[in-house]
Amino acid sequence: MARTYVRVQGNVQKVMFRQTLIRAMVKRGISGGASNNRQQKDLVDITMDGNADEVEALVEALRTTKPLNSWGAEVVTLAVLTSGLDVDAHQVRYTS
């Protein structure tokens, strides 16, 4: 099992991005969560726990799929971080 912390920037708040992300996690059997950054309205922090291949596939989909949903959610930049929030600390979360 791999734990991965990601910060995305782009059109990711008020466009159902976190809900779209959670659906993608469920589909891949990944537990995780996401939180909007309250100071910067174009940032979302993500924590994912799951099979390393599935997590990497989801990270790649976030990088390349444009738009991510019919609301126009789109990631412009994505950074993999060395630390972040525990899944239970996120505003929106899913545990498989």
Q: Which residues are catalytic?
A: 18, 36
Query: Angle 17-28/52-64 helices, nearest 10 degrees?
Result: 150
Please give the Cα distance from 10 to 74 (Å, whole number): 6
Q: Where are the beta strands (DSSP E) in the chain?
A: 2-11, 31-36, 43-50, 74-81, 92-94
Name which of 42, 52, 51 is nearest 78 in CA terms: 42
